[in-house]
């Protein structure tokens, strides 16, 4: 029985080592902090006639890769980011998708 217990502990330890450091997704920029898209600089309300609060909220999204607030048009792509804890494809802005590298590290 001792060897069996030892094996289970070893397997558990090995699984933890393979998992590595916990994923650290970026902090999300607040909607209030940004009036324009972080990618294309378009005003979030530019295409809405009524410009109601619900419509404004539908126009902006968070990129899961960099955490910036971006418009729907600049965040239509879906990519998995396992290094950030997103194993399934998630909303990703064009700047991160095309690999400019400036969005993820921007303050």
Cβ distance 48 to 75 under 8 Å? no
DSSP string of 77-95? EEEEEGGGTEEEEEEE-HH
60-62 and 86-92 as β-strands: parallel, antiparallel, unpaired? unpaired
Report the C-alpha gap between 70 and 28 in whole angstroms: 11
Q: Going residue by residue through the chain (107 aa), what tens digit of pLDDT does each one get? A: 555 555 566 666 666 655 555 677 889 999 888 888 999 988 876 555 455 665 655 678 999 999 999 988 899 999 998 888 888 899 999 999 998 544 443 33
């Amino acid at each position: 029985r001792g060897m069996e217990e030892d094996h289970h502990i070893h397997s558990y330890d090995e699984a933890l080592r393979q998992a590595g450091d916990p994923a650290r997704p970026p902090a999300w920029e607040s909607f209030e902090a940004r009036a324009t898209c972080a990618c294309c600089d378009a005003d979030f309300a530019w295409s809405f006639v009524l410009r109601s609060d619900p419509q404004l909220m539908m126009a902006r999204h968070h990129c899961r890769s960099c955490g910036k607030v971006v418009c729907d048009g600049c965040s239509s792509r879906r990519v998995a980011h396992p290094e950030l804890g997103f194993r399934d494809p998630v909303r990703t802005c064009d700047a991160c998708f095309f690999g400019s590298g400036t969005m993820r590290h921007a303050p």
